[in-house]
A and B are shown apart, each in its own frame.
Chain A
Amino acid sequence: MKVKRDLQFDAIVIGGGIAGLQSALDLGDQGYKVAVVDKDATIGGKMIRLSKVFPTLDCASCITTPKMSSAAHHENITLFTYCTLGALDREKPDQVVAQLRQEPRYVDPEKCIGCRKCEYGCPVYVEDDEQGGFNMRKAIYIPFSNAIPQLPVLDVENCSLCGKCAKVCPTDAIRYDMEPEDFTITAKTAVLATGFELSPMEQKPQYGLAKLQNVVSSMQMERLLAPHGPYNRVLRPSDGKEPDSIAYVQCAGSRDESLGIPYCSRVCCMYAIKQAMLLSGALPLADITIYYMDIRAFGKGYEQFYQNAKAMGIEFVKAKVAKITQGDNQTARLRYEDQEGNGGVMEREHDLVILSLGMVPQWDPAGICSVNCGQDGFIQSILPKIAPTVTNIDGVYTAGVAAGPKDIVDTITEAGAAAMEAANYIKGLT
C-alpha cells in the first residue's frame, strides 16, 4: 500500500474542459496555485473534440489548444488527468477536501515520451469512441493527436497482454501491473466545471439512433467534419457513399417532455447551422435540410450567421420530426409534421440524418458532494441573476455547462466569473 498523498492548493477546479481551463487560467494569472482535475486521459473537454466553432468558423482546435497549452505550462497550474472524484466538500472555512483516485494508464508518465510506438505496435483494434465509433483505435492509444498530456492509455478490457507494446517502447514506460492510486487535494476554494453529455436517445427509439446506420448524432458529425476525422471526409457510415442529401433533426433531446428534458440546450441550432455550412463547403452539390421548431440564433453575430446560411441555400423546414425509419437504398426516411407551407404529415428520404442532440449534465454529485442541483440536474446557483456561479456551499463555485446549457462564448465568460468569485473568497479568508 502506497502512502496516501495529500496535496495542497489554493483552488481546485473539477473538469479540464474549456470552462475549467479558463477558470484555472484566470486564477493562476492572479497568482493562486490551482489543481485541475479531469476524469479523461486528456484535458480539453468537449470543445477540443469539435470541428470548427460558430460563428467565426475558427477551428476548435485553434482556440482550445492555446488554452490547454497555457494551462499545461502555467507555473501556477497543475493538471491531474485520468482522475476520478470520490468526494468533495468543505470541511473548514479555508478547506475544501477532494478525495481522488488516479486511474491506472499502465504507462509510466515520467518515462513516456509520447512517441506512439506502442500504439502502432499493438495488434488489437477497438472501436474508437473518440471517432464516433466510425473507426478503430488500438488497445493502447493516445486519445487524439493534440491530447494534453501526450500520454497513452492502455485499455485493459481489450488488452491481450501480448507484451508487444512493452517490447517496442523505447523508454520502458509500460507498466502492466499499475494499480489505481488514491490521494487527496486540499484547497481553499473549488470550481465545479463538470460539463455535459449529449442527451440520451435510448428513450426515443423512434429516432433510430444507433439502430439506423445513417442516423448519427451531432457529435459524430463533428468527428466526420474534423480535420483528423475517421474518414478524413464526410461519407455515409453505412457504405462510404458521399451523401447527396443530408438532414438535421433539431431539438432531438431538448424541449422534449417525453425525455424529461423540457429545456432548450442553447447550442443545437447554431451548431447545426455551422455543420450545414461546413457540409455545403465540403459537398457543394449536396442538399442540406434543417427541420426545426424555432431557430435560436441569439448570440453576438449568430443571427447574421443564420441569415448567411439561408442565403447559401440551406433549406430550413419548420417541422417536428415524428419518426425515422429505414428508407430505400440505405437512406433514412423522415416522417414529419410540416408546420408551415401546406401542412400535414410528410415523408422525405435522406442519405444521412443528424440528430441535433441536446445537453444533459455529465456529473451527478449525489453521494460525492453536497452541492445543490435543479430539477434538470444542473448545478444550481443560489443567486442566479446577480452571481450565477455561487452555489449553496461556501467558496464552491460552478461554471459552464455544469450550471446549465451554454455555448462556448458564454461558458468562457462564466468561467472568468467563477474565478473572480473564487479569488475573492480566498481574499476574504485573511
Chain B
Amino acid sequence: MSETKKDESGEEARVGVYICHCGGNISDHVDVEKVAEAVKDIPGVVVSHTDMFMCSDPGQELIQEDINKGNINRVVVASCAPSLHETTFRGAISRANMNPYLYEHANIREQDSWVHHGDPATAKAITLVAAAISKARGLKPLEPIRVDAASHTTVIGGGIAGLRAAVDLARNGIKVALVEKSPFLGGNASQLDRVFPTGEKVADLIEYLTSAVAKDPNITVYTCAELTGFEGYIGNFKVTIKRKAPEDEATQLMLKQVKGAAPGSFHPFVGFYPGDVPAADEEETLTTGVIVFATGFELYEPRQGEFGYGENREVITLRQFIRAMADAPATTETLTIDGRPVRRIAMIHCVGSRQIPGIHEADENDYMNEYCSRTCCTATLQAALEVRDNYPGTQILDYYRDIRTYGHNQEEYYSRASEKNVLFFRYEPEDSPVITKTTGEYPLKVTVVDKLTFNEEVEAGVDLVVLATGMKAKNIDSLVEMMKLPVGADKFLQEVHPKLRPVEMANGGILLAGTCQAPMDINESCNAAQAAAAKAAALLGKGFVELDPFVALVDPDRCEGNGDCIAECPENAISMTPDNKAEVNPALCTGCGMCVAVCSVNGIDVQGWGLKEYENMVDAIVKF
C-alpha cells in the first residue's frame, strides 16, 4: 500500500480546511461559516468548507473528493476532540490514497463551543484553525512502524474473567500465560454458592472453565505468581513472572483446607486448586504480544461501627452470610447460624456503594465509592429468597434505596421477594438505618425513617444484620505504577472510551476484562473477557502490529554527533553510527521528546510533533 501513496513532501503545501457543525454542537456557538471565510485566505489554504457532520460518510467524502481532484495535499478538520475522530479522518484520507499523517485536527468543540459563547468563541475557533493550518503546512508524510507481534498473551488474574479470556485466546490458537496471585483459580466467584439468575452452582461454572484451561496445551497456568517486571511495547512486551510460596495467613488457611485433596479439584469457598505451590521462588521472563488485565475487585470492608459492623457479632456481610447459609442445617423451620436460631434478618443495601459526599464518611485518603456496585441488589434478594424458600420461620426485612434488579430475568427476584413476604423499607442516605444493641427479645434493633410509610420511624428487633457490601477497585498500585496504567476517579482501571473502545486501555496492547474496570456480574465479566480476547486476536492474528510513527528522527545533516541525546534518552533508543551520527531505534522510542530539547542544533525531532511545528502554531496564535 505504502508505495502507492503520493509523497507530497516535495510539493508546496495545499491545505484543505473542513469545519464541522456537529449538528449544532459547534455551530450553535461558533459561526462556522465565518470561520471558514476567515481562514480561506491564510497562505497555503486552497479550500475551506463546512459540513453538518464531518465524521459522516458525506463529510468524509468531501475531503476525499478534494484529494482525488488533486486540489489538496494537507488536511485540517475542525471538529470535536481528536480522541474521537482523529483516526476517522486519517482513515478517510488514507482511503483517498494520501498519506494519513498529513493531517491536523483542531478541537473547536470540547475546547471552544462547549466552553465559550458568542463572538469570542468564533474568534477562538479561527485562531485554533489557523494554528492547525500552520502545523499542517509543515507536516511530512509518515509510515507506520511495523513490529513483529508474538502470538502470545499474558492474562493477569485467574478469576472468571481471566479464565474466560484465557480459554478463548487459546482456542484461537494464541498462547496464554495465565498469571494468578493466589494458589487457586476462580477468584471472587469462588466465594459464592449459587449464581443469579440461573441458580447454577458457581462450582460448575468455574469447573467448566478450569477443565478447558487444563485441557488446552496453549495455556500455561502460573499460580502463586505476580508480574514483577515489565518493558517493551505492543506485540513485544517482556514480562517477568515471579512465583513464590504464599505467606499470608488467609492463604495458608485456605491451603490447609485443600491439603491432601487431588490436584485439579474445586473446593467451595476456596477455589479451584491446580495443585502446584512452589517450594522456592521461581522467576521467568516471557515475550508476550498483548496483556489482558483481569485482576478483579475487592469487596468493600465496612468500617468499624458502620451499621454496627465489627461491634456486634450479629452484623455480617452478605458474603459471610452466603458462607454461613451453606453451612447451616437444611430443612429446619428457622435458619440456624452458629447454633443460634435466626428468627428475623435485616438486610441492608448499598453498604459502601452510592456514597454521597457530605453524607457518607470518606476514607483516610478522602475517597468514597460514589458508584453503584451493580450486583448486590439481586444477590441480596437471591439470598433473601433462599431463606424464605427454605426457612419459612425466618423473616426478612430489606432496607434499600432503589432496588436495581436490572438484569435479564432478575426482576423476578424482586417480585417473588414481595410474594414471599420479604418486607421492604426504603431509606434515604441521610437517614440510613441505625443498628443498636438491645437487651430485649432480639439482640439488635434496626431503626429507620421509612420513605414508603410517610417517613415514619420504624423500629424492628432482629437476630442478624446482613450488609450488602459493594465492590471496590482492587489495590494493584504496583502494576499501575510499573505499567503506567490509566485509573479513573473511581479507582477502577480506565478504558479509552466506554463505547468506542470499551475493553482497551490507552496503553497500546493492554486490554481490560471484567471487574478491574467496573463492577460487573459474572455474565458481564465473561462478555468483557471475550470482547478483550477478540481484540487481542485481531491485534496478534497478522503476526505484526503497526505502530504510530511518532518517534524521534535524526536529521543527519544537522547532527554533530555530540551524543547529548543518547545520554538523555531514558529508553536507550538512540545509538551512534560509525560515521558519528545519532540513530534512533523506532521500536524502542516512546516519542517523549527528551532528546529534542537537549539538542543544541535541532538535529533531532519527534515526527509529527516537531518543535518547529509548535513554534509555527504559537506564531499563528499570536497573529490571529
Could you list which residues of chain A lie within 8 angstroms of chain B, going by C-beta atoms? 26, 29-31, 53, 55-56, 58-59, 61-63, 65-70, 72-73, 114, 145-146, 148-150, 226-228, 232, 255, 262-264, 266, 294-304, 307, 318, 339-343, 374, 378, 383-389, 403-405, 408-410, 412-421, 423-424, 427-428
Contact = CB atoms under 8 A, between A and B. Distances in A.
Ordered nearest first, which 7 A-B pairs have the shortest CB separation?
A227-B23, A416-B531, A417-B530, A29-B538, A146-B56, A294-B402, A300-B518
Given A298-B404, A386-B205, A424-B168, A303 B370 contact: yes
Contacts of B455: 340-341
B303 interface: no
B610 interface: no
Nearest to B415: A262
A340 B456 CA distance: 11
Given A150-B57, A304-B371, A423-B537, A385 B406 contact: no
B411 A53 contact: no
Nearest to B114: A57
B553 to A, nearest CB: 29
Contacts of B454: 340-343
Contact of B527 (A72, A226, A374, A413): A413
Interface in B441-455: 451-452, 454-455
B198 A420 contact: no
B356 A307 contact: yes
Nearest to B410: A264
Interface stretch (B142-150, B288-296, B497-505, B612-620): B497-505
B522 interface: yes
A309 B528 CA distance: 29
A264 B497 CA distance: 26
- Which has the most chain A C-beta neighbours within 10 Å: B24, B410, B532? B24
Contact of A65 (B56, B171, B195): B56
Interface in B286-306: none
B166 to A, nearest CB: 12
B357 to A, nearest CB: 9
Contacts of B459: none
A255 B537 CA distance: 39
Contacts of A385: 195, 198, 200, 205, 522-523, 526
A121 B588 CA distance: 60
A232 B21 CA distance: 14
A30 B164 contact: no
A423 B410 CA distance: 30
Interface residues of B, number: 85
Contacts of B232: none
A392 to B, nearest CB: 15
B95 interface: yes
A413 B85 contact: no
20 contacts: A56-B498, A59-B22, A65-B56, A65-B88, A145-B53, A146-B56, A264-B406, A298-B519, A301-B498, A302-B372, A303-B353, A303-B354, A386-B160, A386-B209, A386-B523, A404-B408, A408-B499, A420-B534, A423-B172, A427-B173
A227 B541 contact: no
A53 B499 contact: yes
Given A58-B84, A63-B500, A72-B57, A298 B52 contact: no
Interface in B15-55: 21-25, 52-53, 55
- Which has the most chain A C-beta neighbours within 10 Å: B168, B404, B530? B530
A87 B137 CA distance: 55
B265 interface: no
Given A62-B55, A255-B411, A388 B502 contact: no
B55 A386 contact: no
A226 B198 contact: no
A384 B499 contact: no
B517 interface: yes
A73 B374 contact: no
A409 B356 CA distance: 25
A63 B81 CA distance: 12
B272 interface: no
Contacts of A299: 372, 374, 518
A26 B57 contact: no
B91 interface: yes
Interface in B56-74: 56-58, 60
B208 interface: yes
B535 interface: yes
B406 A298 contact: yes
B84 A62 contact: yes
B277 interface: no
A387 to B, nearest CB: 7
A296 B402 contact: yes
Contact of A228 (B52, B95, B490, B537): B52
B427 to A, nearest CB: 11
Contact of A378 (B87, B164, B408): B408
Interface in B399-435: 402-412, 415, 426
A308 to B, nearest CB: 11
B322 interface: no
A61 B372 contact: no
B80 interface: yes
B533 interface: yes
A391 to B, nearest CB: 14
Contacts of B523: 384-386, 388
Given A298-B406, A384-B198, A427 B503 contact: no
B560 interface: no
A413 B356 contact: no
B524 interface: yes
A409 B408 contact: no
B492 interface: yes
Given A298-B374, A386-B208, A410-B527, A146 B53 contact: yes
A65 B538 CA distance: 21
A301 B371 contact: yes
A146 B408 contact: no
A424 B172 contact: yes
A417 B405 contact: no
Given A72-B57, A296-B406, A428 B52 contact: no
A408 B164 CA distance: 22
B371 A303 contact: yes
Contact of B499 (A58, A342, A421): A58
Given A228-B52, A303-B370, A385-B205, A414 B531 contact: yes
Nearest to A113: B61
Contacts of B374: 298-299
Contact of A340 (B171, B451, B531): B451
Contact of A227 (B24, B172, B198, B426): B24
